[in-house]
Structure 1
């Protein structure tokens, strides 16, 4: 399903991000474990400017998809203000706040200049987001127009960070655009960008969809607002009701490894802002018991042998509304473990502080997802393999690397 008002953002992987599975686990613990007030972010989404071939959106709203590095960190480019100030934002279904660095934030080279936007209006109040790992971001509030994939949202309330922990100030992305329910916003009563799209009738269907590709298959990814592209997935969508209207939380009825029923179930959160699949220790033990040689290492966490035999396994299946959805071994087997020759980090890991299971991007890369805020449900289907590799990948790598060098040079000057 997609309508004529559907627009899409195409995503490229961050070329400068390094695979860091242990750090990803720490961040997701901070994001979903109490007493965190607002989820953080792990993965970022970026916009590429060329046209795609299979979108139904009008040409001004279509941006083509490239993959410039390993598919780990994604971010999207959003414009704020009358003068279209550009920011690289985390598009995060596991959080609801929108914030960017203010011009008074001393630790950033890319900031929002309130004085140069004629449409900016101050908004009474302040915001502060505290994370479970002790990191924080805080500042003032404002209103301005936001351009997301060509959709102009008027008077969007957002945070302007004046202070950030180093966790954020050292990141290549500039801020966060949350896509979960506004019930978890740090400022009560503020509508999210998605809710404002619906309220301002910018999209006629209150949905958005996510497709994430793999670097080895032509890569990239796509956010589409107001519809979805049925050419991205096989068969029909399976619709799963949202159980708690905070995150995109649904019920998982069962868990399998290949043909083995692990006899486990839980609510799960489908979270684009998390790299990994995160489950309690007992669940991780049951999964990794099916992988010969898998170890819960005291230093590195869950690791698995990097062998053809392990790569040939069928992987994990999550049962959602009676249908099995896979996390395949090539997504479970991640980067090599330093000091543990022959082992790689597992994309499924454990944390007992998180009350539900988290299905991050190792799940979403295999499974196309549609988020329906009108009917409070998530549609899921197996992704189709991409048809081709985008020709602009090499040039995009060069462009992003040059931009990264400029940003690093600016940071050095500030320090």
Structure 2
């Protein structure tokens, strides 16, 4: 029996007075929406779910590949971090195997259409497109709320299709529309979104409890080649401060739109510049284990839609070689490692000269089996065909993360 941890989370709009300014939390006008988090990397007994880990890796690898393909198509040149000389579009979008009902999701509500209809979406900083179930989706979208553009007085058919293929042979595909889309009461007009005619099995309810997905990356990796919702809100002056921020934790989690929530962090932010717009790509100074630096600097992307921290295989091997008793856990897949559960290491990532530690709860994904005293680590070595690491929720659950579009940077602060 799986243990689904649901969190009631808030999305709060901060109507800040000017770019870069902050309003005390108790003075903010709060427009909030309940979000739910599903964390099922391990079962009720603390045993790692093998199929879920495999699904997470497949989903992450395929998403990065799709972004690379979209970047080259949109920008007319390969992404500078793309290590593959030739990417075939069908291959690149064809291996995104979503794990059944074991996904890690951060989802909440938006509205679309006129009159406005409410939908739940998964918020993903590692992609850039918004799609919902469409009126022709049929059984594959059963259990999800349908977006019907013919019922909206502000919808406009863009006469473009989209298709995202998945490892099970099915796909998310449909027609692109422009329509009004709102989050926390702030409306984007003419926002590009997809009305899906088919959902992959991984997006079917209850495997994927949200109705759709909302990407929060940059336009250059958009399959639609259209501005993502947050960028549209900024360009249409719906928010005065072009920042959104995440707290992803066991309790009190929220996504803040239009600034940061001063009550959710302590001390000051450590900011690092975005080195290349597409993904939220920044430089990491290094990785330490039990107080000693074991890896030097590398480029990373900060991805709320990825569960794990995924790094270059040789570097990850070097990391685990500094953890007493660690060894490969190839039965879980290439690049996974285990270590003695009684000796969980202190692993930290350094950004902007500041060390941020991974808690034991986030680094430890769970025990190998019911009879095992060994646990699986949350940093995985994988060749994703790109010269950056993917830093997902294993890290983000330990910090308050601000995505600053106005200053082209990402900020990290210690949780309050």
Same topology, TM > 0.5: yes
Tell whether the 8 Å contact from 2:41 to 2:53 is kept in structure 1 after alignment. Answer: no
- The 1:354/1:346 distance shift into structure 2, 3 A limit, reads farther
Q: Which runs of structure 2 are paired with 1:8-407 in the superposition (5 Å)?
A: 9=33, 11-14=35-38, 20-33=52-65, 37=69, 72-106=104-138, 107-109=140-142, 110=144, 111-130=146-165, 136-169=171-204, 170-188=207-225, 190-214=226-250, 219-301=251-333, 302-305=336-339, 307-310=341-344, 313-314=345-346, 316-338=347-369, 341-355=372-386, 356-384=388-416
1:142 offset after TM fit, Å?
Answer: 1.0
**Where do 5+ consecutive residues of structure 2 fail to align?**
1-20, 43-48, 71-92
SS of the counterpart of 1:141?
strand
Residue of structure 2 equivalent to 1:55: none
1:320 offset after TM fit, Å?
Answer: 1.2
CA distance in 2, matches of 1:153, 1:274: 27
Alignment deviations for residues 347-387 of structure 1 (CA, whole Å, 9 cap, x no partner): 11121124211110111111111111111001111112xxx
Count of residue pairs brought into register by the alignment: 350
RMSD, matched Cα = 2.8
Alignment deviations for residues 132-172 of structure 1 (CA, whole Å, 9 cap, x no partner): 88763221111222121222222211111112332323522
Tell whether the 8 Å contact from 2:168 to 2:201 is kept in structure 1 after alignment. Answer: no
SS of the counterpart of 1:224?
strand
CA distance in 2, matches of 1:252, 1:134: 36
**TM-score w.r.t. length of structure 1:** 0.77
1:318 offset after TM fit, Å?
Answer: 1.6
- The 1:203/1:16 distance shift into structure 2, 3 A limit, reads same
SS of the counterpart of 1:234?
strand
Tell whether the 8 Å contact from 1:78 to 1:147 is kept in structure 2 after alignment. Answer: yes
1:187 offset after TM fit, Å?
Answer: 1.8
CA distance in 1, matches of 2:306, 2:60: 6
**Where do 5+ consecutive residues of structure 1 fail to align?**
44-69, 385-415
